[in-house]
Copies of this chain bind each other. A is one copy, B any other.
Amino acid sequence: MSKFEKKQIIKKSVDPDRWYTDVILRGELADYSPVKGCMIIRPYGYELWEFIQSYLDGKFKELGVKNAYFPLFIPNGFLKREKEHVEGFSPQLAVVTVGGGEKLSEPLVVRPTSETIMYDTYSRWIQSWRDLPLLLNLWNNVVRWEKRTYLFLRTTEFLWQEGHTAHATFEDADNFARKILSIYEKFDEEVLAIPVIVGRKSESEKFPGAAITYSLESLMPDGRAIQMGTSHHLGDNFAKAFNIKYLDKNGKQQYVWQTSWAETTRVIGALIMSHGDDQGLVLPPAIAPIQVVIVPIKSEEKVLKYCRSLEKELRGAGIKIFLDDREEKTVGWKFNEWELKGVPVRIEVGVKEIEAGELTVCRRDINSKLKIQMSRLSGGQANVKSEIVNLLTDIQKNLFEKMKKFRDENTHDVSTFEEFKGIMSGKKGFIRAFWCQNKECEKRIKDETKATTRVLPLNAKKENGNCIYCAKPAQYRWLFAQAY
């Protein structure tokens, strides 16, 4: 620690890019590794991932999804079976050519995603309508070679979950892909406090091999978009490539319909970027490893005893609490440390507070000091418990509302391409504009403005409009943004 004793970070308002790196390194969420493009996730960052795992895992299991494990390696030939899939992933592969000291006769690809290795097996497991739906999920690591990497947001190796299901009909698969989308939406908005726009990707932006890619798009404070998760309807593309058939109730062979879906460690990057401020991280209570920190102002036994009883009381109410009674650190260092690490609520306890029967409470999201009344009688502490619980709920809500307000204020309905270009060369943000769904227009918009189609929102209304680029008739307003 001694190297980082000061833990100064640059202000977000001064240099958001350096701020982002500073807050991750100094806040001990992650660290660079000796392997180019790969990161180390440190305990404080990994606790966020553990919570994400446990939340999503529970929701998937409620839908009847079961976890399994498939190999890290994929025989090179497997990837080639689905044409779009291999074209999409080929430039990003890490390839093992030597094993046990010998050159391999067929190179092994380190999985960039597991469709191909899994679906070969699905074709053996699935025989009859009784075997459907098959609902599996994997928690694992994948590798996609990246030229430019950012901590959490884009790394050569990353952690994720990948779900892979097989269904009897197109509609069953579509319903399931949308159910997963709802889980992600609820998680992003209610836990991460990041508002998302849910929709479907354009042909050129969809997952290689998918029929439909659904995605959740959030807007970062710098006006750029982050894709928070994807749920793909794979149609029968892979079923045909891997010959996954079932005997239906009428004794007829049918191809299955499939989905795959993923949320990754990148959402931690979005979380950091969304809520953090000049002092460091700001974590929504619903995901914070520590929700409340108690800092004794003096290390007198009287104060410490009071703090311990308060700690016990609040832990009893299910609050994730940490009493920072370390003697080798100053009060000022502790304030700085827990602000940097984004703990939602800090309680300060000194002789003054004890004598007045009060607590000094600071909320991290608006950086103001509240004073909470607290009776010295233990019977009166129920009051403190519920006040702190309410405060945490309020912080959670406030963080979401703040991001939603920002998102809404930076979502522009645009009707001329000049206006479009102006926004994208300035404050950026989301643009809603008519697009004719021609790939050529999409490409030119990207070349001229760096903005890509994010999604066609699921709730988009059919209208009569004209493509923002070519002015030909267009029926829907698509969502555009520059993206991470």
Interface residues of A (CB under 8 A from B): 1-3, 31, 33-35, 38-43, 46-47, 49-50, 66-75, 78, 90-101, 107-108, 110, 117, 120-121, 124, 127-128, 130-131, 136, 140-141, 143, 145-147, 156-157, 159, 247, 328
Contact = CB atoms under 8 A, between A and B. Distances in A.
A30 B218 CA distance: 39
Given A1-B130, A95-B98, A71 B328 contact: no
A209 B369 CA distance: 54
A38 B120 contact: no
Given A46-B67, A72-B157, A136-B43, A127 B35 contact: no
Interchain residue pairs A-B with the least CB separation, the first 3? A100-B145, A43-B66, A38-B71
Given A34-B120, A117-B34, A68 B40 contact: yes
A43 B72 contact: no
16 contacts: A2-B131, A33-B70, A33-B121, A34-B75, A35-B71, A38-B71, A40-B70, A40-B71, A72-B157, A91-B101, A93-B100, A95-B96, A95-B99, A96-B97, A96-B110, A110-B110
A278 to B, nearest CB: 26
Number of copies: 2
A87 to B, nearest CB: 13
A94 B328 CA distance: 46
A68 B43 contact: yes
Given A97-B97, A145-B99, A35 B157 contact: no
Nearest to A247: B2
A40 B164 CA distance: 14
Contacts of A42: 68
A94 B73 CA distance: 10
A241 to B, nearest CB: 14
A71 B146 CA distance: 15
A268 to B, nearest CB: 12
B101 A35 contact: no
A130 to B, nearest CB: 6
Contact of A46 (B38, B41, B49, B69): B69
Contacts of A70: 33, 40
A70 to B, nearest CB: 5
Given A3-B127, A34-B120, 20 more contacts: A2-B247, A34-B117, A35-B108, A35-B117, A40-B71, A40-B121, A41-B69, A43-B67, A43-B136, A47-B66, A50-B67, A71-B157, A72-B72, A91-B101, A93-B100, A94-B96, A99-B145, A100-B146, A101-B145, A110-B110
Contacts of A93: 98-101
Nearest to A329: B130
Contacts of A147: 100
B96 A68 contact: no
Nearest to A143: B72
A46 B68 contact: yes
A28 to B, nearest CB: 9
